Amino acid sequence: MKSIFESFGIGMPSRRHGATWMAAVVIALVLPGCAMGPTYPPAPKSNASPEFNYIIGPLDTVNIIVWRNPELSMSVPVRPDGKITTPLVEDLPALGKTPTLLARDLEKALTKYIRDPVVTVIVTSFVGPSTQQVRVIGEAAKPQILAFRKDMSLLDVMIAVGGLTDFADGNKASIFRASEGGKSYSVRLQDLVKRGDITANADMRPGDILIIPQSWF
């Protein structure tokens, strides 16, 4: 039976250096396994951004303006349960609505108290619903949750999180895309952030999770 050294075409080491040789062979065998990981197709790029309308989420702040009724106009937070409370209107659902739709709902509720109300809703603090937030986990300088915005790119996300840590394996990063049934794509963050290779940039989508693994060495 051949020894592990003979199998690789290596002469048998002396007893004195056997431990050193064994360690070298083990490292040679393990390194490829460490470098390997799940392989995903590269993140697609698109010249045309899909239609995107901002949806109100918990902890957003909305400025409500009721024309000719300043006493009813104010800035209010969206509660964690997704509802808002304003003068004359209690517990009105805001979660999942556009600002325009919320304004129409407020007008309908206020018709009980004032004639022909005209309401405008302006979102002033953006968090968005959890289904549209972009999450960055792993070896980012500041892992966090970001509100998605139209035309958001991978480079925008990396600037927001402060880049990569010294331990990041940036070119092994991936995007988990919930909007496509959990499909994953590979991205080259090391090339993008450290080398300035703009060809490594990619489009982000609502609900994306950017996963940045740690380098083994």
Model confidence pLDDT, tens digit, residues 123-144:
999 999 999 999 999 999 999 9
Pairing of strands 134-138, 209-212: parallel
How confident is the model at residue 10, as a pLDDT? 45
Domain of 169, CATH number, reads 3.10.560.10
- Whether 10 and 2 have beta carbons less than 8 Å apart is answered as no
Is the per-residue pLDDT at 85 higher than 50?
yes
Considering the domain architecture, whether residues 141 and 164 belong to the same structural domain is answered as yes
* Confidence at 64, pLDDT banded by 50, 70, 90: very high
Q: At 171, is the secondary structure helix, strand, or coil?
A: helix
Is the per-residue pLDDT at 1 higher than 90?
no
Task: Give this prediction's pTM.
Answer: 0.78
User: What is the mean pLDDT of the segment spanning 67-86?
Assistant: 97
Give every CB contact of residue 145 below 8 A, 6+ residues apart in sequence: 133, 134, 135, 136
As a whole-number percent, the residues of the chain with pLDDT over 70 amount to 81
Considering the domain architecture, whether residues 109 and 79 belong to the same structural domain is answered as yes
Domain of 109, CATH number, reads 3.30.1950.10
**Pairwise CA distance, residues 174 & 139, whole Å:** 12
How confident is the model at residue 37, as a pLDDT? 61
**Pairwise CA distance, residues 10 & 13, whole Å:** 8
What are the phi and psi torsion angles at 93 (to 5°)?
Answer: -65, 130
Residue 101 forms part of a structural domain: yes
